Amino acid sequence: MAKQFVCRTGDIPANGMKECEADGGLKLVVANSGADYFAFQAICPHQEVPLCEGLYDGAVVTCHMHLWQWDVRSGAPIGLAEAPLERYDLSVEGDSIYVESKSAIDVGTLFAGASEATLAQLAALARRETYPPGAVVYRVGDPADDFFVLDSGHVEFQIGRDERTSPAGFMLRKGEVFGWAALLEGHPRRIANARALEESALLRINGTEALRVLEADPQSGFLVMRRLSALIARYLAEPGAK
């Protein structure tokens, strides 16, 4: 992927952070931590608050609005945060900082922490598809062979059949995974309709093949399965009803 110039190392305060605009228009926050530089999305994934207005101590980024926090190195959520930060890979050449674009597989939480080799194998399984607004990704009863990683766009789910359907949530963040029945045993059929609300780009990955990759690297596989159960619980959970 092409790399784009972001800023000079001298622009970023020591153990501080600053909002920058890369060549090409991508807005991101660049943070310094000792000898290292990290970059992540400019806007809080919660409520569109600029993260450069938040707090940063050289290790943890905090949005000042509702105290969502992230590890600056991984973008992993800490404490109250309910979503990870989208991180960008930087390269430093001399005093210039460049950003490299990342695949949706690397951005999402489901595969965070899996080994490089496993991520590369999953990426090799992925087929990129684009859906125009209104296009159906799958319907109730279709075979659940593949799962999807959202790259861009907005995908909505409906449960029920015929006219008696009701909305069952939607996906809009790069890296979000849906159609996960393809990763579960005993769930051969779709239980919802998935439809693109706007033009959407998806990575389609075959569930059986992905499971084979994860079985060959049980450490990564265990992490992914733990995250998958947390993900499913999030859609089922009614907090307080313990």
46 near another protein (CB under 8 A): yes
User: Measured between alpha carbons, how far is 119 from 108 in angstroms, rounded to an integer?
Assistant: 11
User: Measured between alpha carbons, how far is 77 from 45 in angstroms, rounded to an integer?
Assistant: 11
Specify the residue, 55 or 92, whose C-beta has the smaller distance to another protein: 55
Q: Tell me the Ramachandran region of residue 24: left when phi exceeds 0, alpha when psi lies from -120 to 50, beta otherwise.
A: left
Contacts of 89 (CB under 8 A, 6+ apart): 39, 99, 100, 102
13 near another protein (CB under 8 A): no
User: Measured between alpha carbons, how far is 103 from 203 in angstroms, rounded to an integer?
Assistant: 10
Applying CB under 8 A, which of residues 62, 103, 193, 220 lies at the interface with another protein?
Answer: 62
Stretch that binds another protein, among 30-38, 58-66, 96-104, 181-189 (CB under 8 A): 58-66
79 near another protein (CB under 8 A): yes
Applying CB under 8 A, which of residues 26, 42, 43, 65 lies at the interface with another protein?
Answer: 65
47 near another protein (CB under 8 A): yes
Applying CB under 8 A, which of residues 21, 24, 36, 55 lies at the interface with another protein?
Answer: 55
14 near another protein (CB under 8 A): no
Nearest to 210 by CA among 198, 194, 228, 189: 228
Question: How many residues sit close enough to another protein to count as binding (CB under 8 A)?
Answer: 31
Minimum Å gap between C-beta 2 and another protein is 29
Minimum Å gap between C-beta 46 and another protein is 8
Instruction: Please report which residue ranges of the chain form alpha helices under DSSP H.
Output: 104-107, 116-125, 207-216, 218-236
Nearest to 207 by CA among 176, 236, 178: 178
Specify the residue, 139 or 234, whose C-beta has the smaller distance to another protein: 234
Tokens of 23: 């060549």
DSSP per-residue string spanning 141-177: TSB--EEEEEEES-EEEEEEETTEEEEEEEE-STT-E
102 near another protein (CB under 8 A): no
Q: Interior CA angle at 61 toward 102 and 7, to 5°?
A: 55
Within positions 147 to 186, which residues make up the interface with another protein, using CB under 8 A?
A: 156, 166-172
Applying CB under 8 A, which of residues 48, 162, 163, 185 lies at the interface with another protein?
Answer: 48
Question: Which chain residues interact with another protein by CB under 8 A?
Answer: 46-48, 55, 57, 62, 64-69, 78-80, 82, 156, 166-172, 234-235, 237-241
